[in-house]
Structure 1
Amino acid sequence: MSIPQSRKEGPKFINTIPTKEGGLDVMIPILKEYINNKAENSPKKPLGPFKTDISIYQNPPANGMRITWIGHTSILIEIDGIRILTDPVWSQRVSFSQLIGPKRFFQPPLSLEQLPSIDVVICSHDHYDHLDEATIRFFAGKNVPFITPLGVPKYLIKWGISASLIHEVDWGDKVMIKNCSITACPSRHFSGRGITHRNETLWASFVIKGPQHNIYFGADSGWSPDFEKIGETYGPFDLTLLEIGAYGKYWPDIHMGPDNASNAHLALKGKLMMPIHWATFNLAPHAWYEPGEKLVAFAQQKNIDLLLPEPGQPTDVTGPYNSNWWQRFMSEGN
């Protein structure tokens, strides 16, 4: 199966299948759902502190693959001799202002200054919880390459990243970083950092393939037949990184939730699944811990092996592992 390149209607990118993104007709019911729901959207108990033992990075992972979940979709991926940082967000809020908007549940487990050397940064799309201006500015002048979908480089250049360091990709495009190939693939989502100019930049998922290992980074996506196409073309995957949080009954097309995420893992021909995009920001009317609890149940039903490390814990990818870390912070009675 071939991976399609992106398509446009006028100046706007469109998904491979019809997608309801969430305009005012959807936002009003979501707001009512927020007002009326009694779920613990944000933790009553402070999460963490989580701390990363940075001395671990002095030695490569024994089997060539190690993951450190910083939170949300910010992940330090070590695969076959290179280090990749995805969607780096270190700010306190994911918003146009640090005075308002969703605030992080726990502090980043290591500072930007403590990061080991990075071979490339992947930015999946331009939403605030994936593309953080303050964090990107940290990398200005540090000679770190970036891979971003079409249109996104304008933000990076504005924030100090040299255009010569940016690989701007369409779906199907491949970038070689040392001996590792990184290929942009479709995801079912949307873009925009405000009410206007929606979908004028592209969104993407990524296949990360080294000489020995193969990882799928899903970023943000609703369920799509493209998962099966990607699995047939680039799978099987040693590890899939798939979003399980920020779902709701009024916008199923752009976020999957645990059930569809586990289905996507199977369609991708994944061996091990790690959930991302949960337990970091309050972005949907469900309990902050609910995605993890539900995913564990679905995985048991569907015979899926999970990798569930604690935030900030460098974890060798050798097989199933569930730290159950979130249960330490759940309020009594849940």
Structure 2
Amino acid sequence: MKLAGATKKGRKFQNPIPTDSGGFGNLIPIMREYANNTAENTPKIPLGPFNTDVSVYQTLPEKGLRITWAGHSSLLIEIDGIRILTDPVWSQRVSFTQAFGPRRFFQPPIALQDLPPLDAVIISHDHYDHLDKATISFFAGKPIPFITPIGVCNYLESWGILKNYINEVDWGDSVMIGNCNITATPARHFSGRGIFNRNETLWASFVIKGPGHNIFFGADSGWFPGFAGIGDAFGPFDLTMLEIGAYGKYWPDIHMGPDNATNAHLALKGKLMMPLHWGTFNLAPHAWYEPAERLLNLAGEKGIALFMPEPGKPTEPDGPYNSEWWKRFMSK
């Protein structure tokens, strides 16, 4: 199915449905929400260390699919013979400067130089917690295909990524990597790395379909009815990877939280659900572990099978798996 491409108004991309992205009008209420917050936003007990056994990558996953979660939305996906890295962020802070801004709760479990050979890198949008200049610069000059929504290519080129290896995609566009078809699909979010360039680049989710597996990388999105359309067109999915963190009173349109993420999983016709975008940075006024705890309860109520591996542990999602690793670091 060919999806309709993203729409623009002037220089600005638009969401599939009207969306409040939490602009200046919400700044004072958001600051007040943070000021009055008493939750454990940052772990009192340091997380980790987590370490990846890189010898695992010397052999292919037994059933063709293996996931290593490096934290937040950074994933090493091994699917049907290829390796894909998503939204790689290895820096200490997700900010325009490393002097201040949200800091990592734990160190990356695997060094960039220790990653196995990659077949592609997917960038979902240009926010600092998904597009990290220092990490991208590590790949400068390397013959690795990048797949990015419209406009993000300008950042990549300026940071040294080979122009001929950048695949710029609109919603509905597909790129073949090996025997896997990677299709950009709609999301309900926004873009911009400053206060004056909002929505001048596109954001996207991605369907990754190989001969043996079909998975969905949701990146960042608020709930919208388009999840059902994606499920009808491309599902069912063996695994959906959906963001559950960084939610709050003033941005329900652009982040789902556990409640709507579980609804999206069901709409997508997913078999297993893996939560992303939590437990790595303090980006919202909720306890750092709250998204996982709430997800467990909701999944039980809705009959959803979860896949929740420990950071850095290469794991095959061939059935429900929940290590509940975070409970080792909860202070309550």
- State TM-score, norm by structure 2: 0.99
What percentage of aligned pairs have identical amino acids? 71
- Counterpart for residue 36 of structure 2: 36
- In the alignment, the residues of structure 2 paired with residue 323 and residue 288 of structure 1 have an alpha-carbon distance, to the nearest angstrom, of 17
Whether 1:140 and 2:153 are equivalent positions in the alignment is no
- In the alignment, the residues of structure 1 paired with residue 29 and residue 3 of structure 2 have an alpha-carbon distance, to the nearest angstrom, of 35
Q: Secondary structure at the match of 1:151?
A: coil
TM-fit CA distance, 1:141: 1.5
- In the alignment, the residues of structure 2 paired with residue 4 and residue 331 of structure 1 have an alpha-carbon distance, to the nearest angstrom, of 47
- In the alignment, the residues of structure 2 paired with residue 317 and residue 79 of structure 1 have an alpha-carbon distance, to the nearest angstrom, of 11
- Counterpart for residue 307 of structure 1: 307
TM-fit CA distance, 1:24: 1.3
- In the alignment, the residues of structure 2 paired with residue 192 and residue 24 of structure 1 have an alpha-carbon distance, to the nearest angstrom, of 14
Whether 1:264 and 2:264 are equivalent positions in the alignment is yes
**Residue identity in the other structure for 1:261:** A
- Counterpart for residue 202 of structure 2: 202
**Residue identity in the other structure for 2:134:** A
TM-fit CA distance, 1:27: 2.0
- Counterpart for residue 291 of structure 2: 291
TM-fit CA distance, 1:2: 5.2
Q: Secondary structure at the match of 1:168?
A: strand
**Residue identity in the other structure for 1:97:** T
- In the alignment, the residues of structure 2 paired with residue 58 and residue 28 of structure 1 have an alpha-carbon distance, to the nearest angstrom, of 52
Count how many residue pairs are aligned between Structure 1 and Structure 2. 332
Question: Is the contact made by 2:244 and 2:278 (CA closer than 8 Å) also made in structure 1?
Answer: yes
Whether 1:151 and 2:156 are equivalent positions in the alignment is no
**Residue identity in the other structure for 1:32:** R
**Residue identity in the other structure for 2:257:** G
Q: Secondary structure at the match of 2:287?
A: coil
- In the alignment, the residues of structure 2 paired with residue 238 and residue 32 of structure 1 have an alpha-carbon distance, to the nearest angstrom, of 41
Question: Is the contact made by 1:3 and 1:229 (CA closer than 8 Å) also made in structure 2?
Answer: no
**Residue identity in the other structure for 1:168:** E
**Residue identity in the other structure for 1:47:** L
Question: Is the contact made by 1:310 and 1:323 (CA closer than 8 Å) also made in structure 2?
Answer: yes
What is the 5 A alignment of 1:1-334?
Answer: 3-332=3-332
Q: Secondary structure at the match of 2:270?
A: coil
- State TM-score, norm by structure 1: 0.99
Q: Secondary structure at the match of 1:56?
A: helix
TM-fit CA distance, 1:30: 1.1
**Residue identity in the other structure for 2:129:** D
Q: After TM superposition, which residue ranges in structure 1, 4 or more long, deviate above 6 angstroms?
A: none
- In the alignment, the residues of structure 1 paired with residue 250 and residue 146 of structure 2 have an alpha-carbon distance, to the nearest angstrom, of 34
Q: Secondary structure at the match of 2:78?
A: strand
The runs of 5 or more residues in structure 2 that have no matched partner are none
Deviation per residue, 1:66-96 (Å, 9 max, x gap): 0000000000000000000000000000000
Question: Is the contact made by 2:142 and 2:162 (CA closer than 8 Å) also made in structure 1?
Answer: no
- In the alignment, the residues of structure 2 paired with residue 246 and residue 197 of structure 1 have an alpha-carbon distance, to the nearest angstrom, of 22
- In the alignment, the residues of structure 1 paired with residue 81 and residue 290 of structure 2 have an alpha-carbon distance, to the nearest angstrom, of 35
Deviation per residue, 1:158-197 (Å, 9 max, x gap): 0000110000000000000010000000000000000001
Deviation per residue, 1:235-279 (Å, 9 max, x gap): 000000000000001110000000100000000000000000000
Q: Secondary structure at the match of 1:29?
A: helix
TM-fit CA distance, 1:139: 0.3
- In the alignment, the residues of structure 1 paired with residue 47 and residue 133 of structure 2 have an alpha-carbon distance, to the nearest angstrom, of 25
Question: Is the contact made by 1:137 and 1:159 (CA closer than 8 Å) also made in structure 2?
Answer: yes
Q: CA RMSD in A?
A: 0.7
The runs of 5 or more residues in structure 1 that have no matched partner are none
TM-fit CA distance, 1:18: 0.2
Q: Secondary structure at the match of 1:314?
A: coil
Question: Is the contact made by 1:119 and 1:144 (CA closer than 8 Å) also made in structure 2?
Answer: yes
Q: Secondary structure at the match of 1:238?
A: strand
Q: Which moved more, 1:20-29 or 1:40-49?
A: 20-29
**Residue identity in the other structure for 1:88:** P
TM-fit CA distance, 1:142: 1.5
Q: Secondary structure at the match of 1:208?
A: strand
Question: Is the contact made by 2:184 and 2:207 (CA closer than 8 Å) also made in structure 1?
Answer: yes
Question: Is the contact made by 1:26 and 1:251 (CA closer than 8 Å) also made in structure 2?
Answer: no
Q: Secondary structure at the match of 1:316?
A: coil
Question: Is the contact made by 1:2 and 1:229 (CA closer than 8 Å) also made in structure 2?
Answer: no
TM-fit CA distance, 1:3: 2.1
**Residue identity in the other structure for 2:96:** F
- In the alignment, the residues of structure 2 paired with residue 317 and residue 331 of structure 1 have an alpha-carbon distance, to the nearest angstrom, of 29
Q: Secondary structure at the match of 1:272?
A: strand
- In the alignment, the residues of structure 1 paired with residue 31 and residue 280 of structure 2 have an alpha-carbon distance, to the nearest angstrom, of 20
Question: Is the contact made by 2:40 and 2:286 (CA closer than 8 Å) also made in structure 1?
Answer: yes
